[in-house]
Amino acid sequence: MAAEHVVIDLDEHGHEPAERSSITHGNVANRRNLLLALVAAFVIGVALGGIGVGELRDSRAQRERSTVVSLVALPESGYSGGSNSRGTVVLNGQLTLINTGPAPITIRAVQAERPGVQVRGMGQARHVRPGGTGQIAVDLQLECATAFDLEPLSVRFSVETEDKRLREVRYPVALVGSAWQEDAMHLCEPRLDS
């Protein structure tokens, strides 16, 4: 037997028809384009989703800040008249409010009551910006013998927050040593000329 030599011609292209070869090459190109489009859509989706989540978080934080009420209340001398009837003093006073919260608030009403003490706001609303102060006029009715307990008076405030909702908050106000006590004690002291 004679040995046959098989020679491989490297210059020769595949024996597939030309049409089929271009279709295969076209499918690969289409797949690459599709893959690139999917990757681009994914990257854009992640970027937009990240921005959306950030905006949502910021919006939620802003809504929470607008509902927070934090204030400090201090009795101030606003003595404008007063009377003493059977051991009870009636005064017009002022309450200084400091908004320690992150958003503006509007104080709509002030009220406090315990044995010997009644405090009522005079009806005007007061807008107080964050970090700002405002004063509210109040009517005071104080019994000379029992009003000035060591325990602070729990004052109730009706507050409208930035989201236009009314909230009720309480703040303890110390009456002992306050301007209200000083004003009341002048009227509670028995007069020597009577």
Name, in order, each residue with C-beta under 8 angstroms of 102's C-beta and a sequence gap of 6 or more.
65, 68, 130
Between 11 and 71, the higher pLDDT residue: 71
Question: Where exactly are the structural domains of the chain?
Answer: 1-67, 71-188
pLDDT at residue 136 tops 50:
yes
What's the confidence (pLDDT) of residue 79?
Answer: 63
* Position 83 confidence tier, pLDDT thresholds 50, 70, 90: low
Angle at 95 between CA 90 and CA 101, to 5 degrees: 155
pLDDT at residue 7 tops 90:
no
Between 57 and 174, the higher pLDDT residue: 174
71-188: which CATH number, 2.60.40, 3.40.1710, 2.40.50, 1.10.260? 2.60.40
86-117 pLDDT, tens digit per residue, is 788 888 899 999 999 888 999 999 999 999 99
What 3-state DSSP class applies to 152? coil
Between 2 and 90, the higher pLDDT residue: 90
What's the confidence (pLDDT) of residue 194?
Answer: 46
137-175 pLDDT, tens digit per residue, is 999 998 988 888 889 999 999 999 988 899 999 999 999
CA–CA separation, 189 vs 47, rounded Å?
74
* Position 38 confidence tier, pLDDT thresholds 50, 70, 90: confident
Between 110 and 17, the higher pLDDT residue: 110
pLDDT at residue 67 tops 70:
no
Give the start-end residues of each E strand in 13-165.
71-76, 82-85, 88-99, 105-114, 117-121, 126-128, 133-143, 153-160
- pTM of this prediction? 0.64
